[in-house]
Structure formats: C-alpha cells, structure tokens
Structure 1
Amino acid sequence: MRIKRSIVAALLLCGGLALTNAQAAPDLLLVGDVETAVAQKDFDQAIARITNALATTPQQDTEVRLDLLQRLAMVYEVAERWSDAAQTWEQGAAVLARWKGERVPELSQWYEAASKAYERAGLTRQAFEQGRAAFAVDQANLGAAHPALVPARQRLLALATEIGDSEAVAAYQPLSRGRGRQANVPTVPVPAIDHINVDYGEVNPNNFARVKVFFGTDRNVTGSRKPDSYFGGERGQFNWGTVDVSVPRTHKPGAVERPSIMSFEVHESPERHMVLMSMTVLDGQEALQEMRRTLEQQGSDQAFVFVHGYNVSFADAARRTAQIAYDLNFPGLPILYSWPSRASTLDYIADTAVVRHSGRNLLRFLEEIVQKSGAKRIHLVAHSMGNRALTDALELYAVRHAQESKPAFDQIIFTAPDVDAGLFSEMVQTIRPIAKRLTLYASDQDLALSVSRKLHGSRPRAGQAGDDILVMNAIDTVDMTALGDDVLGHSYFANDASALSDLLSLFTVAQGPESRCGLVPRASNRGEHWQFDPARCNGSVWLSAMSLWHARGPQALDYAKQMALDAQASSVTQAQQEWQQITQALEQLIESAGPRR
C-alpha cells in the first residue's frame, strides 16, 4: 500500500505541497524507532510511539495522519492484534474518504486491508462489509467486468456464503459473457512479458493526448493488475517497459491533474486527469528496440532521463515524466528511472538506505541507453534524493568510459540535490568530462533539504542556496529561490514564469546561462553564480518560441512573423501582441544559438 504525495517535501520537479505555518515537519526518526521496537517485539512501545505522534499531529495534516494510521495498523498486524488492526485500517479509510472523496482509487487498498484483518479476527460480517466497500471503489474506477475484479468477486462470494447472505451470494456470482461489459474487455495476458490495459469506459480520445514513457525500475512487482500499483516500494528485479499516460486537452502546463474532492470527482478519467492507461513490461533488448523505432518515427535523436526524488511512487513519477515531456513538447524519448522509494512522508530514512543501492542499476541502464537506444543527445534530470543514485552512477560511468573522446550526455541537470555539498563537489569533478554542460538548480526555500541538513549534522546540502550556495567552475549554479519551494512545479509555470522554460532552453539549444531568459549574474563570497528572476522572463512566450524552434528550426522566425501579420489583419490585438513577443524571443534565440546543430 502506498500513501501518496507529501505535505512536507518541497519538491522542485515532483509537485509537493508547500507547508503552511500550521503544519509541522514530521518526526523523521519515528520510522527507525518503531522498526527497532518491532524487531525487539516491544509492540507496546511501537504502538505508543505512533499514537503519541498521532496525538501531536494537527488534524489538517491529513496525509501525515494517514501515514501514521497505516504504520499503526501494520504494527497491530505484526502483533497479531487483528481486530485493532482492522479498526485502524477502517479509521484510515474514513479519513481518506473525507479528504479525497469516496471513489478515489487508493481507498480500495484501505478497505481491503481492513477486510482481511477482520477476517483474521474471525469477524466475517465486518470482513464482508469492508471487502464490499473496496470492490465498489475498484468497480467505479475500472468497470464492473474488468478482469482485475475477479479475485475480489470470488472472495466476496465466499464471505457472503459463510455469513448466509443470499442476496450478496447472488450479487457476486461470476459474470457470464454478455453481462455488464465483460465481452468488450480483453483478457489480460500473464506471460513473462506483461501487459495491462485499463478500461475507462466510454471516453472521447479527442479530449486527451497519450504520452508514452519508457522506464527502467528496480522496484518489486506487487502482483497487482493495475498500472498504478504494479510496482511497489521495495527492491526487486530490474524491469524495462513502457507506460502510456493520458494528458487531458484542458491540461494546465506544470500541473499533474488528479481527481479532487473539491471538484466533486469520484473517479479518474483520462479526459480530466493524468492517468496510467496501460503498461507493458518488456525484455531489455525489446525495450531498446522500441526506443530506436520510436526515434525513427519521430525523426529525432534526443532523449531525457528523469530520476525522481524521495517520497514518490512509480505512478506519480510516471505522471511527472509525462507532464514534463508534454509541456516541453519534447521531440524525443521521455525515459523514467524509478528507484524503490516507499512513497511515504515518514520513510525518509528508509529511502536514504535504498537509493544508493540503485546507483549501479542506474549505471547499467544509462550504458544501455547510450549504446543501444539510438539517441545521440541524451539529457539527464534528477531531483532531490534521486541525485544520490545519479551521481553514484555517473561517477562510475566516468571512470569506466574515461577513454572515450566525446561526452556521452548532453545536458545534466541536478535539481535540489539532497547530497552532501562537499561530496557533490568532488564527484562533479569526475563527472564533468562526460557531459557537455552541468547545471545545478538550488533553492533557499526547500524544506526537505533543510530537514535533511539537520539529520546530517548541519552539513550543507548541494541543493541549498543562501550563504552556503555551491559555486564551482565545473557547473553552472542557478539560484531558483524566487520561485518558492516548487521550482519546476505547477503554479509558477501557470503564471508564465517557470523554470520549465529554462530547462527547455538547455534541451533546445544548450545555451549558457548568460543567454537564457530570466537569469541574472549574482556575486557572492563563494563566487559568481546565476539567479532566476521570474519578472524578467515570460515563460509561456519562451516555451512557445522554443517549441517552434524544435519543430521548424530557423524557419520558425518566418512562421512567427506571418502569424503576427495574420493576427494584425484579423484585428485580434492580444494574439498580435503574443506573436510579436514570440517573434522577438525567436530572434534572440537564433542569435544566441548560432547554426542549428
């Protein structure tokens, strides 16, 4: 089970929510204390530790409270206090339903856990009721005849038979062909190479786009038949594959649209939300062949690899990768590397322990992409704790490929790296030869880095700005503090001043900071670096200009001028002004870029 998204992590690429003054940072040492107590079979101590944390966590900190309830239920289960566990799962389900609505997909996991705990406690009636609630959520999201519902239907039939509920026995009989929509749902294959397709019912494909995200992951396979929960938060065998993510036509750049109780939405739809529509697990060589085929179809030679940070599920990382690719109109392969983060607010220490184990897997993944994907311009973007895996992988890559004459990577962007600043400085010197440009995005408003610094003896983190901002000749340091605690996130982008435009500048023409929109030089006691000033850059104009540059090259300027003339002829003043601004941005872009590569 995963409890999604943190109210704590101020995520540059992962869209975390900012803390309000009323919200307190979680006790990140709690996990270790509880695990130690459980290992010593001191269950009372573990339970007391969690219940005390619950008592001191404000009611409005819903996600932290859910995380604590999940841990409390799990401790009860280890202690074989099944009735207490079931009641705690049920309590968490009620909290989640009030927060996100009665049909939010992850709610079924809470109901199912409560049902199984009640069954272990010998309380069959309660087990049936909670199981029925879980089934209702899944049925609302997947459709009545989806194959993923078959095991739950069989279990409910058995429970209904045991309690003698004849109406329920009739209701949960196996569906015959022609009943419901079963005839229209393809049989889900279960070969070694797996494929899952989610039926979202009658949707208009013109109302959303599909972004194919390639992935590599060393997460465990959970056994779930849903793309959202196919991969878990523990270490597992390495898997390659693709996942199709929907992007609604009403999408706002920078956002990751999800169901919201504020909009009275009860289930996800590709016409309104970013959803994982299908997933295919592939053999590594087949995945690389599919990459080559996709690049040939696109007429492109580019790829970017995104490595997510702490407290991120596979599904959320896939959505974010798709959002970046879509918003940048990226002409190439969006590739996700997903390491086994537990996707939990309180699992910072657990994520710290596992992320570096993924470094060698990431190394091999990158080597395969460089050698066999067909991409010639490969960009890397890592966020927060994901930089630990990336820097480990790149340091090894640099040593193993020291004799190669050309850099393997084009742009490498380290966003808010949760890495010791001194160690990062040393590693950058080794990494520098394998990239055309290194960029560091730092912020003085990142709470996750502030918490990390305290946990690491007040030693500076590489992603922190302020007095300890890291400045080196080998890397371009950009202070993104002006964008608050969500440097590449949604609200700032929607206000036409986002670092996404800076990211696209790097991907498009590999400009130095002196030529990029919104960057101004700043001197400090550590040397000269760059500061992003949103007031100096209209993000939407630059994104439009660079998208045209991607598609048309230098001919984009003639196109923009013609569009401005057309807008003038039609007396559409706003459109005329926008195209004039895009024309000016293209003129600057072409002048600074020189001949197109």
Structure 2
Amino acid sequence: MASSSASLVTTLFALATLLAGCSTIEQHRLIAKTIAPASDSDIAARHDLYVATSRGFSSQPGVIYAGDRADETTFAKVSVTVPAVHEAGMIEKAPNPIVADPARYFAADSIGIFPAKGDFKRDLSRSIKARGGRALIFVHGFNTAFDEAIYRMTQVVHDADYKGSPILFTWASAARTIDYVYDNNSATTARDRLEETLNLVVEAGAERIDLVAHSMGSWLMMETLRQLAIAGDPTLQGRLGDVVLASPDIDVDVFKSQMRRYGTPEKPFYVLTSRRDRALSVSGLIAGNKPRVGDYTYAEDLAQFGVTVIDVTSVSGGDALNHTTFAENPALVRLLGQGLLRDQTDGDFEDDLAGRISTLGSGVGQTIGTTADIIITTPFEVLGLTLR
C-alpha cells in the first residue's frame, strides 16, 4: 500500500512538473519592454488592480515582485488590458513577455508602487467610493508567480463582471512545483499581512468585502479569519460579504478546527470541491494520505459547520489537473459573479441561500451545454442539480 501511494505521488508530481514546464524568471516578466500598438476596438476592457503583497522585490527587469519573503507588506496598483478576442475562462498570455500585444493577449502596461500604506488606503478609498462601496480580495494558491496572480485575478474580475474594487493579496510563492513546503511556510508568514490588508480595506470605507481564495490561499484565508475571530472581529465590523474557498488545500481536520474557532458564519461561506482534483490528491498523499477539503467526499460533514459545499466534480475545467475549475469553466466564473454582484440582504440567511441556489441552478442550466451534475450541500439541505 505504501509503495503504491509513493508511486502515485511520483507520477502526479511528474505530471505537475511537466504541466508547469521549465519556467524561468524572464517568463514571469509582468511589464513588457515594448508594447505593440492596439486600437480601442482591440481592447475589451481595462482593469485597475490594487495589490498588497508579502513578496520581496525582484531584481529582474519587468518582473517587479519575486518569490522571496519581505519583512513588510508593500502596496501597488497595476493596470491590465483584456483583449477583445478573449474567451471566458481563458488567460490569453503572451508567449514572449518582453513584447506585449494587447490586441491578442492580456497586457499589464503600468504599475505604481505606493510609498506607504496610507497612500494605498487613500487611493483605494476613492476607488471604493466610486464603485458603490464594494471590494473583492483574491488570494491565489500554490506555485503562483506574481504575473500569474495578476492575470488570474484580472480574468476572474473580467469574466465575473465584477464592478467593485478588486484587490489582490499575493504572498511569496516560489512558483515552482518542487517548493510545496516553502510555499506553505510563506503562506503561514503572510497571515498577519492579510489581516492587516483586510483591516485597511475596512478603513478605506468598504461597505461590503467579498473574499475569494484558491488552493493553498484558502488555508491562508481561513487562518486569517480565525485570527480575526480570536481578536473579536470575525465579520470585519459587519463588512464581510461572501467567502468563497475554491479547491481548498486544507487538511479536513484543520478546517474543522478553524471553523470551530471562527464560529457559525453570519454570511455565506462557499466551498468548491471536486473528487477529480489531482493536485489535491498529491497534497493529501504528502500530508499522510489525509483528504483535503477541496476533494473531500463527505459534504454533510463540512456543512454542519455552517458552510455551503458545491461539488463540481462533473463540471469540466480548463486545466489538466482539474484544480482551477472555478475560474476556467465559463459558467462557474459567471455564477461566481452573480453571487458577488447580488445586493446584500437583511433577510433570513436560509431564505437567502435558497434563493441563490435557485439562481445557481437556472444559471448553470443556461450556460453549460453538456450534461453535468452539481451537488450543493447547505447547512439546511442537500440539493442535486442535473444540468442540461
């Protein structure tokens, strides 16, 4: 049995390494050396992303932030264009990052580093006020370079049609498959930085703050929410909106302990799972052959803590490891947008969930062309959706 598990780990790591390719620092260049001309009709949209990071600066031209850990949080603002040829769920990334071609690929054409967090807060405050008081904080997962985090959040914000102020919290991932332990430790060191960022967004005047975290970023998010609960502020002074944990790379027992400390959520906590997530299969084997939350079979076991589990096992995704389905399946990312765009309600939490599940079912049925099944397990009921 042990040799079988070891063989599976080796095979899956080889697959992950192959899929990651032999990336170099230059391939993670964010700001190109030259930018090809593009007309207004070539550009679908421009998105300004606010950035808070625990990464250190890179010495390489255009890379901006590296995988090293910094002693202090730094803040930035990045402007990214999305090409008119963009397809939902895709990140059209330039094969040569030295030359940007906005008509064909995502292109970050400017970045500003804020001298101090007070400057960041003032600029963000103006954006939040202009965008209806809403903010979205996204935390990426394992094996993610700075440029990849920027483009993933841009894609999610664009495809979800999010109208609030987008904020990327990016921690010091080494962006290498073999550095799982380093990344896990980097996420651990970033807990206080994320808490600092969440409080800054509150101070900037956000009336509703939605949180989306992926993979190992979900562990970082849950640890930070646990810290807030211990400090007596689990809802960010009542500003916390939805919490979405996509493919959470968290030990199931750890998650249960986090939720026990946090308490029953006042607003929706969504956990997206898939039994076909091969990246989490590797993680689970590394962790003593223990399941991760993102591929856990017993949804009711999680729902008892007040979270809603959305099983997307039968929904196709763009990556071969089935680990980024939440962002790469066009229907799911649009449905994510439906949730984030909804008006905050003062009604009964259970009624609100029921209404959103109904919307989810009709929305998926309209946007997925093939038959698929999503199983939604709430703290109140289990709902099976056959999608045609």
Same fold (TM over 0.5): yes
1:385 aligns with 2:221: no
The CA deviation at 1:355 is: 1.1
Q: Which ranges in structure 1 are unaligned for 5 or more consecutive residues?
A: 1-22, 28-56, 71-92, 94-104, 109-137, 144-199, 536-597
User: 1:142 and 2:33 equivalent?
Assistant: yes
Relative distance call for 1:441 and 1:533 in structure 2 (3 A) is farther
Q: 2: CA distance between counterparts of 1:405 and 1:207?
A: 40
User: Deviations 1:392-428 (Å, cap 9, x if unpaired)?
Assistant: 1110111213498963311001111111111101212
* CA deviation after TM superposition for structure 1 residue 507, in Å: 1.2
Q: Which structure exhibits the higher relative contact order, with contacts defined as CA atoms closer than 8 Å and separated by 6 or more residues?
A: 2
Task: Give the TM-score normalised by structure 1.
Answer: 0.53
Partner Cα distance (1:62, 1:324) in 2: 22
Q: Is residue 25 of structure 1 aligned with residue 12 of structure 2? A: yes
Q: Which whole-Å CA distance do the structure 1 matches of 2:192 and 2:238 have between them?
A: 20
User: Given the alignment, which residue of 190, 210, 217 partners 2:53?
Assistant: 217
* Match of residue 67, structure 2, among 233, 247, 250: 233
CA contact (8 A) 2:66 2:146 kept: yes
Output aligned runs, 1:483-498, within 5 Å. 483-484=315-316, 485=322, 486-490=324-328, 492-493=329-330, 498=331
Select 1:375's aligned residue among 206, 224, 242.
206
Q: Is the 8 A contact 1:432 1:438 kept in 2?
A: no
Matches within 5 A, 1:20-169: 24-26=11-13, 61=18, 63-64=20-21, 66=22, 106=27, 142-143=33-34
| Secondary structure of 1:380's aligned partner | strand
Secondary structure of residue in 2 paired with 1:26: helix
Alpha-carbon distance in structure 2 between the residues aligned to 1:467 and 1:206: 48
| Residue 86 of structure 2 corresponds to residue 251 of structure 1 | yes
Match of 1:411 among 242, 246, 256: 242
Paired with 2:75 and 2:385, the residues of 1 have a C-alpha distance of 36
1:309 aligns with 2:141: yes
Q: Separation in 1 of the partners of 2:387 and 2:241? A: 26
Which AA in structure 1 matches 2:12? Answer: A
Range moving further from structure 2, 276-285 or 466-475: 466-475
1:353 is matched with which residue? Answer: 185
SS across alignment from 1:336: strand
Q: Is the 8 A contact 1:482 1:533 kept in 2?
A: no
**Max Rg structure:** 1
Q: Closer, same or farther in 2 for the Cα pair 1:259/1:320, shift >3 Å? A: same
Query: Structure 2: how far apart are the matches of 1:508 and 1:522?
Result: 23
- Map of 2:336 onto structure 1: 503
Report sequence identity in percent.
22
Q: Which residue of structure 2 aligns with residue 276 of structure 1?
A: 108
Q: What residue is the counterpart of 2:5 in the other structure?
A: none
User: What do residues 493-529 of structure 1 show as CA deviations (whole Å, max 9, x unaligned)?
Assistant: 1xxxx212331232122651532322888599x9954
Note the C-alpha offset of 1:325: 1.3
Instruction: Determine if contact 1:210/1:246 at 8 Å carries over to the other structure.
Output: yes
Closer/same/farther in 2, CA of residues 417 and 532 from structure 1, 3 Å limit: farther
Give the aligned partner of residue 119 of structure 2.
286
1:525-556 per-residue CA deviation (whole Å, 9 max, x = no partner) reads x9954556543xxxxxxxxxxxxxxxxxxxxx
Distance 1:527 1:464, change over 3 A: farther
Structure whose residues are more often helix by fraction: 1
Cα drift, residue 246 of structure 1: 1.1
> How big is each residue's C-alpha offset from its partner over 1:80-105, in whole Å with a ceiling of 9 and x where there is no partner?
xxxxxxxxxxxxx9xxxxxxxxxxx6
Paired residue secondary structure (1:429): helix
Please tell me whether the aligned partners of residues 257 and 273 of structure 1 are also in contact (alpha carbons under 8 angstroms).
yes
Give the aligned partner of residue 368 of structure 2: none
Q: Which amino acid aligns with 1:106?
A: Q
3-state DSSP of counterpart to 1:466? coil
Alignment CA distance shift 1:269-1:470 (3 Å): farther
User: With structure 2 as the length reference, what TM-score do the two structures score?
Assistant: 0.80
1:459 is aligned to 290
1:487 Cα offset (Å): 1.8
Question: 1:442, 1:479 within 8 Å by CA — same for their partners in 2?
Answer: yes
